[in-house]
Structure 1
Amino acid sequence: MVRMQHATLPAGQDIEVAEISVAAYERMGWTVVGGRQPSKTAAASGRRRTQKENS
C-alpha cells in the first residue's frame, strides 16, 4: 500500500492505495507521501483502431 495526499484536503487526511493504482491517482492530482518517487508508468493507450475507424 502507498500513502497519498491531495492538495485540497487538510494535512493528515491521507489515503492508502494499492501500488497498481498510484498512476491513476497521480493523474487525479494526488501525490505520494514520503520518500517514494512518483510512478513513471504511462497510461494504457486503449484498443487499437482499424484503418477504417481512423478515417
Structure 2
Amino acid sequence: MVRMQHASLPAGQDIEVAEISVASYERMGWAVVGGHQPSDTAAASGRRRTQKETD
C-alpha cells in the first residue's frame, strides 16, 4: 500500500491505495507521501489482441 495526500485536504488526512492505483490517483491530483519506489511487477499496458484483430 502507498500513502497519498491531496492538496485540498488538511494535513494528516492521507489515504492508502494499492500500488497499481498510484498513477490513476496522481492524475486526479493526489501526491505520494514519502519515498515511493515502484515495484518491478507492473500491470499489463492493455488487453491482448487476437490474431484476427491484428489482420
Query: Fold conserved (TM > 0.5)?
Result: yes
**C-alpha distance in 1 between matches for 2:13 and 2:31:** 12
SS in structure 2 of the partner of residue 10 of structure 1: coil
In structure 2, the residue matched to 1:19 is 19
Deviation readout 1:32-51 (Å, 9 max, x if unpaired): 0001268xxxxx68xxxxxx
In structure 2, the residue matched to 1:9 is 9
| Deviation >2 Å, runs of 4+ | none
**C-alpha distance in 2 between matches for 1:33 and 1:24:** 15
Structure 1: tracts of 5 or more residues without a match: 39-43, 46-55
Please, what is the CA RMSD of the aligned residues? 1.9
In structure 2, the residue matched to 1:34 is 34
Provide TM-score, normalisation by structure 1: 0.65
Counting matched residue pairs gives 40
In structure 1, the residue matched to 2:42 is none
**C-alpha distance in 1 between matches for 2:2 and 2:25:** 11
Q: Which amino acid aligns with 1:5?
A: Q
Identity %: 85
